[in-house]
Chain A
């Protein structure tokens, strides 16, 4: 199999601080990590490699610093790592990012046809969940998002069956390869790479592609120029002032009555809304 995994290096949001005075995000000194959602994709790709044998190429668009993230995926067991890095990419929104990645994937596909592209479900710094689907659309392949399980892959029939998480339950989907998959969190746990892979990662000579190398013909579609999204303002929401109300009582009846009274007194309109709903129910 030929697998491409797209990842992003992100600031560790657990350690991001908002400047106490200016209220802006302080990125300086914040450690960077592989976007946690991407780790599920990397591990799933590695499992397919264990099962079917595969070449895994990890792809990221980012500054030079993103090399750390790529190298780490090699420690886990990925085979190749490509860094798409160019001044022209700076300031990309999800539209421009998916264009850049899709173009590079197309180029990889020319050397050897790709079976599956994995992306993270979303990033923890942008949270849009748009890049994966964006790539799939640009490549004209099926997108399987929120996948909780790869049930089977039939390489001869070029078919894949997966479980997809939806709010009401699980969908069982079958589609043709090649396809793009994003994984639901918790699907697997990233492995701890072997010493051999750690050595390979440390010695690996990273592949770097500029916009031209990636096959992009019109750089005005990348980076800031190719990004219609505008960040108008960043702010820290003011702290919530609502206090937790503890509800206690001697018997379950008293507790539930107190709960209802407290709810209705806190949200006076609630009583009316509930009444409307229940009277509709009766009339039906």
Chain B
């Protein structure tokens, strides 16, 4: 017996569920296939959920979704081995009735989202790995092969939401191997604590949360970032570096995480907590220039498998959902117009993405990955210099402030050289402009 659907969605992460939900809502027959035991069982995120992208798909999500804490304060920490220089932003504005970001647990969130997909009328089958795409004699994708017996299923369009590894697109020759210089490996642990203790430590009320992003010397000049997020009953802490940097040796993911946990600014936050869960995952961080081909005859790619992550702002799940939504809307529109899912017609998906924050933001930072690769001292030298400068200013040691100012300038010039400093600022501004 062969089954045929309007659309098959591979993967039940935020990208896949967004696509399946929007299509099912519009009355299309949709099959969503997920290899995990249940949606979310294999997925890892920090995890901060940005409201906007989801709100555009499920406006009432705040009443239903398993949300943990409303993030009211964002901190950025630049660590040296002994100190940190921080920038905090906290505002009551974040405490309105429609908060713009929350901490979540992906295993729960993905399950909820996929349940919405089922309620919208799609068929969801878990524990089913899609092994390959089926093409017809013209090279058009017409279905998928799964790892179950009699496992071929057919559809007019296949949406690949299979995450960062994007095996299917690679096996089908639609994209190249992931590059190790463009892919971060991140490890994460969940440290359980009573919620009132978390609230005390982070100076927040019930249901409020803090997100801390960390960079600094502990990655030893390798491109990497850490994070500390508050959930209801645990603190998520993680750190990662580019796979290529790990390959060079000298650093291990768990070693980095251990160092982060031992850092004097971090350790007191975790004291007496119990580590109950850990995970590791890849993040595609190549940015705009690493985006592969995202559509072709009978197929589209969404979310991480399309490389849609803004690593500087740690936005990924929102881009996943938005791209899923756009892909779905493309399918719906073409169906209505009785048009085929040819590469030519699916170009609309790319146009929608190009005109949205997704590609605009990725374009804005497109020089960033390269910039960081060429300027490793941003992770080592500057945290040291800035930390030292602030310590110098604050130290009360009988030296007048004007001389201290000069001393600081000297140390910067000694550390990086005047031309280096000027060049860095120009390059940095260019990379983010």
Q: B-contacting residues of A (Cβ < 8 Å)?
A: 17, 20-21, 29, 31, 75, 192-196, 198-199, 202-203
* B119 smallest CB distance to A (angstroms): 14
Chain B at the A interface: SS class: loop
Complex formed: what's the CA distance from A20 to B108 in Å? 22
Complex formed: what's the CA distance from A196 to B128 in Å? 12
Q: Does B276 contact A (CB under 8 A)?
A: yes
B72-96, CB under 8 A of A: which get 1 and which 0? 0000000000000000000000000
Q: Tell whether, in the assembled complex, residue A195 and residue B194 are in contact, meaning their CB atoms are under 8 Å apart.
A: no
Complex formed: what's the CA distance from A192 to B147 in Å? 9
Q: Tell whether, in the assembled complex, residue B153 and residue A29 are in contact, meaning their CB atoms are under 8 Å apart.
A: no
Q: Tell whether, in the assembled complex, residue B108 and residue A29 are in contact, meaning their CB atoms are under 8 Å apart.
A: yes
* A49 smallest CB distance to B (angstroms): 16
Q: Tell whether, in the assembled complex, residue A196 and residue B1 are in contact, meaning their CB atoms are under 8 Å apart.
A: yes
Closest to A198 in B: B125
Complex formed: what's the CA distance from A206 to B41 in Å? 25
Cβ-neighbour of A195 out of B124, B153, B192, B274 (below 8 A) = B153
Q: Does B385 contact A (CB under 8 A)?
A: no
Q: Tell whether, in the assembled complex, residue A195 and residue B148 are in contact, meaning their CB atoms are under 8 Å apart.
A: yes
Closest to B194 in A: A21
Q: Which A residues are in CB contact (< 8 Å) with B3?
A: 195, 199
Complex formed: what's the CA distance from A17 to B277 in Å? 11
Q: Tell whether, in the assembled complex, residue A195 and residue B149 are in contact, meaning their CB atoms are under 8 Å apart.
A: yes
Q: Which residues of B170-201 have CB atoms within 8 Å of chain A's CB atoms? A: 192, 194
Closest to A21 in B: B194
Q: Tell whether, in the assembled complex, residue B274 and residue A194 are in contact, meaning their CB atoms are under 8 Å apart.
A: no
Complex formed: what's the CA distance from A203 to B29 in Å? 13
Cβ-neighbour of A202 out of B108, B125, B151, B194 (below 8 A) = B125
Q: Tell whether, in the assembled complex, residue B150 and residue A196 are in contact, meaning their CB atoms are under 8 Å apart.
A: yes
Q: Tell whether, in the assembled complex, residue B150 and residue A195 are in contact, meaning their CB atoms are under 8 Å apart.
A: yes
13 new A-B contacts, CB < 8 A, other than A31-B41, A202-B124, are A20-B192, A29-B105, A192-B147, A193-B148, A194-B149, A194-B151, A195-B3, A195-B149, A196-B1, A198-B128, A202-B123, A202-B125, A203-B123
The 4 closest A-B pairs by CB, nearest first: A195-B148, A194-B149, A195-B151, A202-B123
Q: Tell whether, in the assembled complex, residue B146 and residue A195 are in contact, meaning their CB atoms are under 8 Å apart.
A: yes
Q: Which A residues are in CB contact (< 8 Å) with B382?
A: none
Closest to B37 in A: A31
Complex formed: what's the CA distance from A72 to B3 in Å? 20
Q: Which A residues are in CB contact (< 8 Å) with B61?
A: none
* A9 smallest CB distance to B (angstroms): 13
Give the number of residue pairs across the A-B interface with Cβ within 8 Å.
39
Closest to A17 in B: B276
Q: Tell whether, in the assembled complex, residue A198 and residue B192 are in contact, meaning their CB atoms are under 8 Å apart.
A: no
Q: Tell whether, in the assembled complex, residue B274 and residue A20 are in contact, meaning their CB atoms are under 8 Å apart.
A: yes
Q: Which residues of B36-63 have CB atoms within 8 Å of chain A's CB atoms? A: 37-38, 41
* B404 smallest CB distance to A (angstroms): 48
Q: Which B residues are in CB contact (< 8 Å) with A195?
A: 3, 128, 146, 148-153
Complex formed: what's the CA distance from A199 to B2 in Å? 11
Complex formed: what's the CA distance from A219 to B127 in Å? 39
A-B contact pairs, 23 of them (CB 8 A): A17-B276, A20-B192, A20-B274, A29-B108, A31-B37, A192-B127, A192-B148, A193-B148, A194-B148, A194-B151, A195-B3, A195-B128, A195-B148, A195-B149, A195-B150, A195-B152, A196-B1, A196-B150, A198-B125, A198-B128, A198-B148, A202-B124, A203-B123
Q: Which B residues are in CB contact (< 8 Å) with A31?
A: 37-38, 41
Complex formed: what's the CA distance from A199 to B1 in Å? 11
Closest to B145 in A: A195
Q: Which A residues are in CB contact (< 8 Å) with B1?
A: 196
* A192 smallest CB distance to B (angstroms): 7
Q: Which B residues are in CB contact (< 8 Å) with A193?
A: 148
Q: Which B residues are in CB contact (< 8 Å) with A75?
A: 127
Complex formed: what's the CA distance from A198 to B3 in Å? 12
Residue among A17, A195, A202, A203 having the largest count of chain B Cβ atoms under 10 Å:
A195
Q: Tell whether, in the assembled complex, residue A194 and residue B125 are in contact, meaning their CB atoms are under 8 Å apart.
A: no
* B68 smallest CB distance to A (angstroms): 11
* B32 smallest CB distance to A (angstroms): 10
Complex formed: what's the CA distance from A31 to B150 in Å? 29
Cβ-neighbour of B150 out of A192, A194, A202 (below 8 A) = A194
Closest to B276 in A: A17
Q: Which B residues are in CB contact (< 8 Å) with A29?
A: 105, 108
Complex formed: what's the CA distance from A96 to B174 in Å? 59
Q: Which A residues are in CB contact (< 8 Å) with B108?
A: 29
Closest to A29 in B: B108
* A202 smallest CB distance to B (angstroms): 5
B186-224, CB under 8 A of A: which get 1 and which 0? 000000101000000000000000000000000000000
Q: Which A residues are in CB contact (< 8 Å) with B123?
A: 199, 202-203
* B37 smallest CB distance to A (angstroms): 8
Q: Which residues of B120-176 have CB atoms within 8 Å of chain A's CB atoms? A: 123-125, 127-128, 146-153
Closest to A203 in B: B123
Q: Which B residues are in CB contact (< 8 Å) with A17?
A: 276
Complex formed: what's the CA distance from A130 to B194 in Å? 38
Complex formed: what's the CA distance from A202 to B123 in Å? 7
Q: Which A residues are in CB contact (< 8 Å) with B194?
A: 21
B410-426, CB under 8 A of A: which get 1 and which 0? 00000000000000000
* B82 smallest CB distance to A (angstroms): 31
Complex formed: what's the CA distance from A16 to B39 in Å? 20
* B48 smallest CB distance to A (angstroms): 19
Q: Which A residues are in CB contact (< 8 Å) with B151?
A: 194-195
Q: Which A residues are in CB contact (< 8 Å) with B147?
A: 192
Q: Which A residues are in CB contact (< 8 Å) with B274?
A: 20
Q: Which B residues are in CB contact (< 8 Å) with A192?
A: 127, 147-148
* B20 smallest CB distance to A (angstroms): 14
Complex formed: what's the CA distance from A29 to B127 in Å? 20
Q: Which residues of B247-262 have CB atoms within 8 Å of chain A's CB atoms? A: none
Complex formed: what's the CA distance from A189 to B152 in Å? 25
* B33 smallest CB distance to A (angstroms): 9
Say whether, besides A20-B192, A21-B194, A199 and B125 are in contact (CB < 8 Å).
yes
Q: Which A residues are in CB contact (< 8 Å) with B152?
A: 195
